[in-house]
Amino acid sequence: MNKSQKNSLLIIKIILALHFILLFLFCLPDGLVNQEMRAFSNAYANPLFQGRWNLFAPEPPRQHKSLIYRYSKTDNRSEWIDLTHGVKEKHDAVRIGASTKMYHVLQNGSHYLWEFYFQHDTQRDSIKLRNMQHLLFEKIRNEAGAYPDEVEMALLLESSPDFHDGSIKSDTLFFNAFSHE
Amino acid sequence: MTLPNASKYWGAESWIMKWDWGETFMLEFIYLMMNEWMDGLWPIVVSIHLLALIFAFAGKYLRISHLVVFLTTVWLYHRLTLYIIGGNLLVIALLFYLIFANERKSDQFSTKLNSLILLAIKVQVCFVYFFSGLWKLAGDQWLKGEAMHYILNIPEYSHPFVIEYIANSKIVTVPATFIALAYQLLFPFLIWFRIFKKPLLIVGVLFHLIIGLAMGIWDFALIMIASYTAFMFGD
């Protein structure tokens, strides 16, 4: 290797070391890194390296969220429909394929809507609500052939059985009806 | 897995809302497919992505094909930004490192550079496990051995058969919780020792196959298994 190649390798090693130091700071839980470092590492890691690898952590999810909706067009109102109806059945039958991806996308949307319900104070949270409204309008247009006049939606929550006594809690969160923009 | 529903993800009538991310040139570039004018172009982006993948697998024009695979992956994933999961993010990170690799060249500089890239990939995989374990230590359910019980009882992350016969069996879920936690915490440290490498990789493949089968999170499972190949080379 000539001198310039050795220098190039040294520079790449330094860049890689800095890269992983910043990712390390970015991934650390809050409280283990000061605010200045957090802001700096956030600016570096978002959006390309935004993985914090905290799926099911610090606590695992403890309730299932099912979104149901109904829509009205002219004077007709549909029955309540499960958002994942048809997709979940295929997902359960074949664990790898288009339905599995779609099922997780729809369920993620329901999860984000649940997050919005409890913490709708930032622009990103309002996107979670508007995204689900958009998804429902497009899904209904795709399946019914036209946009509905109005849509109502609700989240059905059902907890996993309690580890100790097996009890299950359920709840329903209702959202305001909305119309197409 | 996304191709049969591609138009619902990336098309003009996508089920996924667009919004303005363009605060800087870099963000505008990353979120390129959030632009209205990109609506009709997703088949071209997907085709270029597949073509670059073919070139990369064939070992042709490696630097360029790796770069094109990376860019098209970033554009396609970031159109679905609310739905990006850990597996997708890991793909982006690994593809980023691969841009700089060129395994077809065998001069001393390229060999050393390729070794560095391989090391970066290994460190990235160790980061995934280490932080997955570390975050879990901050909660109660993992340390009490209850986490798997709750996860496997949620239909989204489980299977009807698992919910019926396994999720409520403490003989299975308590050890499974501790094994998963221990594996994630120990992997980043033990994988560097030759004696532990093979058992860790075998257990890891089984672990991720179960995640794929039981939870249906195939993206993540397959990416993690694929990333293990980095540990099979370059000792």
| pLDDT digits 0-9 by tens, B150-190 | 999 998 889 889 999 999 999 999 999 999 999 999 999 99
Spell out which residues of chain B touch residue A180, defining contact as CB-CB under 8 Å: none
Three-class DSSP category at B102: coil
By the 8 A CB rule, do B150 and A160 touch? yes
Minimal-distance CA residue of chain A relative to B124: A20
Span B52-69, mean pLDDT?
93
| Residues contacting A154, CB < 8 A, separation 6+ | A67, A68, A69, A80, A172, A173, A174, A175
Residue A124 pLDDT level (bands cut at 50, 70, 90):
low
DSSP B37: G
B76-91: per-residue pLDDT in tens?
999 987 788 888 999 9
Structure tokens at A121: 């104070």
Quote the pLDDT of residue A159.
Answer: 95
Q: Is A57 within 8 Å of B1 when comparing Cβ atoms? A: no
Cis peptide before A58 (omega within 30 of 0): yes
Spell out which residues of chain A touch residue B74, defining contact as CB-CB under 8 Å: 48
Quote the pLDDT of residue B162.
Answer: 92
Out of A62-71, B102-111, B224-233, least confident range: B102-111
- Nearest CA to B137 among A51, A56, A45? A56
Quote the pLDDT of residue B220.
Answer: 84
- pTM score, whole prediction: 0.91
Q: Which has more confidence, A32 or B119?
A: B119
Q: Is B159 within 8 Å of A109 when comparing Cβ atoms? A: no
Average of per-residue pLDDT values in chain B: 91
N-terminal to C-terminal alpha carbon distance within chain B: 34
CA distance B208 to B205: 5
Instruction: Classify residue A154 as left (phi > 0), alpha (psi -120 to 50) or beta.
Output: beta
Three-class DSSP category at B143: coil
A82-123: per-residue pLDDT in tens?
999 999 998 888 877 888 889 989 999 999 999 888 876 676
pLDDT over 90 percentage in chain B: 65
Structure tokens at B153: 């009882």
Structure tokens at B11: 């098309």
The minimal CB distance from A91 to the residues B81, B141, B216 is found for B216
Quote the pLDDT of residue A121.
Answer: 65
Structure tokens at A17: 């070391």
Out of A48-57, A88-97, B41-50, least confident range: A88-97
CA distance A90 to A102: 10
Quote the pLDDT of residue A119.
Answer: 75
φ, ψ dihedrals at A68, nearest 5°? -120, 150
By the 8 A CB rule, do A8 and B116 touch? no
Out of A25-29, B21-25, B51-55, B125-129, least confident range: B21-25
Span B4-28, mean pLDDT?
86
Three-class DSSP category at B56: helix
Rounded to 10 deg, the angle between the A98-118 and A123-144 helix axes is 140
Our CA angle for B66, B85, B173, nearest 5°, is: 125
Out of A118-122, A160-164, B43-47, B138-142, least confident range: A118-122
Structure tokens at B21: 């991310």
A17-47: per-residue pLDDT in tens?
999 999 999 999 888 889 999 999 999 998 8
Q: Is B4 within 8 Å of A56 when comparing Cβ atoms? A: no
* pLDDT at residue A181 greater than cutoff 70: no
Quote the pLDDT of residue B51.
Answer: 97
| Residues contacting B177, CB < 8 A, separation 6+ | B141, B142, B145, B146, B147, B148, B149
Three-class DSSP category at B233: coil
A148-169: per-residue pLDDT in tens?
999 999 999 999 999 999 999 9
Spell out which residues of chain A touch residue B16, defining contact as CB-CB under 8 Å: 105, 131, 134-135
DSSP class per residue in chain A: --HHHHHHHHHHHHHHHHHHHHHHHHHSPTTSS-HHHHHHHHHHHTTTT-----TT-SS---EEEEEEEEEEETTEEPPPEETTTTHHHHHHH-SSSHHHHHHHHHHHHHHHHHHHHH---SHHHHHHHHHHHHHHHHHHHHHHSS--SEEEEEEEEEEPPPTTT----EEEEE---EE--
Q: How far is B198 from chain A (nearest CA, A)?
A: 24
φ, ψ dihedrals at A63, nearest 5°? -145, 150
* pLDDT at residue A71 greater than cutoff 90: yes
DSSP B213: I
Task: Report CA B137 to chain centroid distance, whole Å.
Answer: 22
- Nearest CA to B200 among B96, B126, B118? B126
Q: Which of B82, B90, B92 best tests the A interface by mutation, with the highest count of A CBs <10 A?
A: B82
Q: Which of A48, A132, A147, A159 best tests the B interface by mutation, with the highest count of B CBs <10 A?
A: A48
Cis peptide before B199 (omega within 30 of 0): no
ipTM of the complex: 0.90
φ, ψ dihedrals at A25, nearest 5°? -65, -40
CA distance B66 to B55: 9
* pLDDT at residue B235 greater than cutoff 60: no
Q: Which residues of A45-78 are buried (b: 16+ CB within 10 A; e: fewer)?
A: bebbbebbbbbbbbbbbbbbbbbbbbbeeeeeee
Our CA angle for A113, B89, B29, nearest 5°, is: 90
- The sign of the dihedral angle between the CA atoms of A8, B123, B230, A101 is negative
The minimal CB distance from A57 to the residues B112, B136, B218 is found for B136
